[in-house]
C-alpha cells in the first residue's frame, strides 16, 4: 500500500518541484500517495494541484489545521517561509518546530526539512543578522534531536531569483551596458540551483533510499558560479553586455526594497558571509559536488536554465 507523503510549500518552487518529480517517477509515484499542504485552497496554484493530488488546507501558525493535515502521514517534506518582523527568528523556528512536533504525534516516520547554513555559528558570531538562515539551522538542530528519522535539503541561491527579484537584477547604465552589482568581490562563488526544476531530484534521492541518506544534508546546487561568470552567462543569454560592479555595502543596502524592513542588514551580511566563509562554510565545493553526484537525475546548469526561461533586459 502507498505511503502518504505530505508536502509543505506545495504551490511554491520547492514543494511544487517535489510533487512534480514524484508524480513523474515510476517508482516513487507507486511508493507514495501525495498530499499537498497549502494555506489557501482557493489560490490559482492550489486549484491546479487539485487535479493531480490530494490538496489539504494547513497553516504552520494553526496547530489544529496541521493535526488534520498530517493525519496518517508517513513522510513529511517540510519547509518554512521567512518572517521579517522583530520576532522573525522565533516565528520561523516555531513554525518548523510545530510541524515536526505534530508530525511525530501523528505517527510520521521520516522528516525531510528544507534548511540553510548556520551563518552565525560558521562565522564564529561575526554575522548574526542573517535570520532566515539561522532560524532554519536551529530548527534543523531541533529535528535532529527528535525520535524520528530525518534528512535535510539545504538549497543554494535560486536561479529563479534572477528574474523574480528585480532589485537584484542588472540595471541599465547610461552607456548601454547592464550593471550587475553587489558589495563583494566578482570572484565570490555562489552555489546555484534551479529550485523549481531540480529540488525534486534531491528530495527524490532521499525518498528512494531513505535509510542511505538518513542524517545527511544535501547542499543542493548544480555548481558554484562566480559573479563574473554569472555576468558572462547573462550576457550570452540576453544578448546584452552585462558587467559586474563591486559597490560599497552602503550603496548595496540603499538599493534594497523597504519591504525587507529589519532584514536589509541581513541581506548585506549574507553576501559578506559568503565571501568570507563560503556559502556552506568550510568545504563548500566538496559539499555541493557530493549533493550533485547523489541527486536523482541530471541537474540544470545556469546556462540551461536561462535557455529554458529566457531573461530579458529591457
List per-residue pLDDT tens for the chain, 314 residues long.
799 999 999 999 999 999 999 999 999 999 999 999 999 999 999 999 998 999 999 999 999 999 999 999 999 999 999 988 889 999 999 999 999 999 999 999 999 999 999 999 999 999 999 999 999 999 999 999 999 999 999 999 999 998 888 888 999 999 999 999 999 999 999 999 999 999 999 999 999 999 999 999 999 999 999 999 999 999 999 999 999 999 999 999 988 876 566 688 999 999 999 999 999 999 999 999 999 999 999 999 999 999 999 998 88
**In this structure, what is the dihedral angle of CA atoms 232, 234, 239, 240, given to the nearest 10 degrees?**
-80
Residue with cell 558570531: 125
Residue with cell 537584484: 168
Please tell me the distance from the alpha carbon of residue 99 to that of residue 211, in angstroms, as a whole number.
Answer: 22
Please tell me the distance from the alpha carbon of residue 167 to that of residue 258, in angstroms, as a whole number.
Answer: 11
Phi then psi dihedrals of residue 113, to 5 deg? -115, 135
Is the Cβ–Cβ distance between 191 and 260 less than 8 Å?
Answer: no
Q: Which of 240, 204, 239 is nearest to 220 (CA)?
A: 204
**In this structure, what is the dihedral angle of CA atoms 139, 295, 49, 136, given to the nearest 10 degrees?**
10
pLDDT of residue 95: 97
pLDDT of residue 165: 86
Name the DSSP letter for residue 159. T
Amino acid at each position: 500500500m502507498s505511503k502518504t507523503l505530505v508536502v509543505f510549500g506545495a504551490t511554491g518552487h520547492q514543494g511544487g518541484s517535489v510533487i512534480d518529480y514524484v508524480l513523474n517517477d515510476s517508482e516513487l509515484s507507486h511508493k507514495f500517495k501525495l498530499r499537498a499542504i497549502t494555506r489557501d485552497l482557493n489560490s490559482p496554484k492550489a486549484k491546479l494541484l487539485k487535479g493531480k493530488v490530494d490538496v489539504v488546507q494547513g497553516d504552520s501558525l494553526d496547530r489544529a489545521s496541521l493535526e488534520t493535515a498530517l493525519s496518517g502521514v508517513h513522510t513529511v517534506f517540510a519547509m518554512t517561509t521567512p518572517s521579517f518582523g522583530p520576532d522573525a527568528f522565533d516565528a520561523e523556528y516555531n513554525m518548523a518546530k510545530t510541524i515536526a512536533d505534530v508530525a511525530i504525534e501523528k505517527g510520521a516516520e521520516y522528516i525531510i526539512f528544507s534548511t540553510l547554513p548556520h551563518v552565525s555559528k560558521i562565522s564564529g558570531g561575526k554575522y548574526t543578522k542573517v535570520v532566515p538562515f539561522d532560524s532554519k539551522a536551529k530548527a534543523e538542530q531541533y529535528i535532529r534531536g527528535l525520535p524520528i528519522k530525518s534528512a535535510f535539503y539545504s538549497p543554494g541561491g535560486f536561479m529563479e531569483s534572477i528574474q523574480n527579484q528585480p532589485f537584484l537584477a542588472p540595471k541599465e547604465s547610461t552607456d548601454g551596458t547592464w550593471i550587475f552589482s553587489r558589495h563583494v568581490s566578482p570572484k565570490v562563488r555562489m552555489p546555484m540551483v534551479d529550485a523549481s526544476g531540480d529540488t525534486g531530484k534531491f528530495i527524490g534521492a532521499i525518498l528512494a533510499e531513505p535509510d542511505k541518506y538518513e542524517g545527511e544534508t544535501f547542499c543542493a546546487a548544480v555548481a558554484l558560479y562566480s559573479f563574473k561568470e554569472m555576468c558572462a552567462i547573462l550576457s550570452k543569454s540576453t544578448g546584452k553586455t552585462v558587467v559586474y560592479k563591486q559597490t560599497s555595502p552602503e550603496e548595496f543596502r540603499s538599493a534594497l526594497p523597504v519591504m525587507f524592513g529589519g532584514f536589509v542588514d541581513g541581506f548585506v551580511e549574507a553576501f559578506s558571509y559568503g565571501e568570507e566563509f563560503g556559502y556552506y562554510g568550510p568545504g563548500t565545493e566538496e559539499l555541493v559536488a557530493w549533493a550533485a553526484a547523489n541527486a536523482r537525475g541530471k541537474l540544470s546548469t545556469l546556462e540551461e536554465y536561462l535557455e529554458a526561461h529566457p531573461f530579458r533586459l529591457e
